[in-house]
Structure 1
Amino acid sequence: MTDRAPATSSEPRRRGTGHRLSPLVIPLLSTAFGAVSGVTIDAILPMTAFGLIWGIAAAAVAPRLTRWGERAPGRADLPLWLAVALAFVVLGAGLLGNILATTPQAQLDLLQRDAFGPFFYAIHGPFEWALMPLLVMVNWRRPGRRWPLVAAAVAFYAGRTASALYFAPHALSWAGDPMSADLDEVRRWTDLNWFRIVLQDTLTAVLLLLAATRSGPRALPVDHEVVAPAKAAN
């Protein structure tokens, strides 16, 4: 006599490997970063308000962007490779600037060039407020990419914070009034900038490249159910 056992669920609700991206974190981080960014241009309150508004809007679309990037790999690949290219452009520009600045006076001359400020504003602004957040959101469901991108974001925003609080204010001040610059301070600024290039630009570029070369399987949705086939017992 053969008894057939009813089909059972061996794992009724197996959680996927993806962690939930809490929308509440986004406005907190963007508001703090907006306040820090405001130090550079002496507009802390407006930039804080901008960061809060941006964060609320980003938190509202983050779940959709996460699902959007999960459905088609190409949607997550294109912005990631664009970020890799821009990251290495920034790295090359930073290295070139420090290599050309063989003396403090050469550094001052470089800071006064018309193209110096607009170049970094044009790249860093979109990178900070659009591209880097987009990369994290659309690749959040890909475990092989998630943590390299999170590490890249931490390195990137830590470096941007240092730039906003120290490097950029000094550079803008010296560019506007080179006679006020102390050459010993300029030399110290240049030396510290090497550390910033290594800890921000190089690390960010390498981690983004690592993430781009690791696609990996998509995470299962949290509510994904796995039903085991029926078993027969004699």
Structure 2
Amino acid sequence: MKRTEGFQPISQESTPALIAAQLREHISRGSMAPGAQLVEMEIASALGVSRGPIREAIQRLTQEGLLVSIRNRGVFVAEFGPDDIRDIYEARTAVEKAAAGILVSGDHALAGKELLLKVDDMDAARMKNNSEAMSAADVAFHERLVEMAASPRLSRMHGTLLTETRMCLNRLEGRYLDESVRVAEHRHIAEALSNGNANGLMKLLDAHKDDALARLLTEKPSSASLQTA
């Protein structure tokens, strides 16, 4: 008898995985805002599926920390306090610095060129005053940085952190009077990688984290203070 006898073929992605992906996207975009309650019956009706796969998808996102289950109340989109936000950015930066270390020891010029293309996307969104496209390009920059390191484990850890980051980026809207500051931070990171400047690259990634945290963890500044940022 073969060891694999009785195994059943499975689809590449299960229904719960596809549902989880949709919910994750809505959460990261902010269309399901922090604190919003998820109602299984409503989601099942909207997607045309039974409640079983909805329940499994919700369990997945709860394990990822994107949803919170409160006994006798229901399931809600996670709300991040200051400590959560610090933890997200510290963890994300640690993963990105590990990926950057791999890249800078390889074909760093090509990797830097790839990231500069993402910076161009950010700048194009800035010139169109498209905040949604700006945030998407911002996330794509960081996603590509880790992807190019070709480390499945770093990418897996980074995936959840990026969803949480996108939730935080929604709060950054309006905290840059001049979005060129944000574009410049990313351009400097890409250029340091392109030049193979390992020490500079690590410092820039830390500075990028610190700047984002400073903006996220303070009251929304006035136009005058934003101009001097």
Instruction: Say yes or no: TM over 0.5.
Output: no
Between structure 1 and structure 2, the one with the greater Rg is 1
- Relative to total residues, which structure has the larger helix share, 1 or 2? 1
Q: TM-score, normalised by structure 1?
A: 0.28
Higher relative contact order (CA 8 A, sep 6+): 1
Q: TM-score, normalised by structure 2?
A: 0.28
